[in-house]
Amino acid sequence: MTQVSQLSRRQALKLFSGVPLLPLATLGGTVMLAGCGGSSTAATPAAAAAPTSASFTPMAAPTLADASAMATTSVASSLSVAYRDGSTQSYKLGYQPFFITGDQVPNLQGGTILAGGYFDINGKPIVDTSVPGQERQFFSDCPDGTCLLQPIAGADKAKLGVKGNPVFAVVQFEYATRDQALASQYGRLPSPIAVLTLDQDPATGKLSLAKYFNVPTQAAYGLWIT
């Protein structure tokens, strides 16, 4: 990629840096939409040309004709950016996970915490003991819904471990379908909810996970089948 093309791509990303990229729920993880480069109508897009508009090109949902694409996170969509000089640039899109449930992630309260992990009414991990010798904390199959919050005025970047713009997201998780012995756990475990602290790069809009906070639900006697 030439230096001129790199500058053009950076300009396009800056166009969206004021609007945080949205975390989306996918199998096992929370993810963000990201630009991965692409093609242009001009051989060398003008570095000075300012972006004027953008349009999203959707992808067709995969079918059984391509079963592997249905079983994975498949992305074939793109973002087209138009510039003031009449040129356009197309960017292929992809998914980048913040975490996969079952990962150890930075805990807002210090140390690490299991992403999507289940806790009892006293805040203690709920342990899956169904297979002797393989005991581990229960964790959700995957995120179910994610809501991005507007930046909160006065957020302490140093305490949050954020270098760029602090952005927050609430994640509600799916239940754990089965234990390790494959016995059904439907409705037997309280549904976890977490608040993510995200670090947004002001230059590109990219979001990275900085801290994870498990929301205590003892006052409501836990959340069930959310």
C-alpha 105/C-alpha 118 separation (Å) is 14
Beta strands in 45-87 (DSSP E): 51-57, 78-83
Tell me the per-residue pLDDT of 13-37, one tens digit each, with 9 for 90 and over: 444 333 334 333 333 455 444 555 5
Span 48-78, pLDDT tens digits:
578 899 999 999 999 999 998 888 888 889 9
Q: In the chain, how long is the greatest CA-to-CA distance?
A: 67
Confidence class of residue 83 from pLDDT cuts 50, 70 and 90?
A: very high
Instruction: Supply the pTM of this predicted model.
Output: 0.70
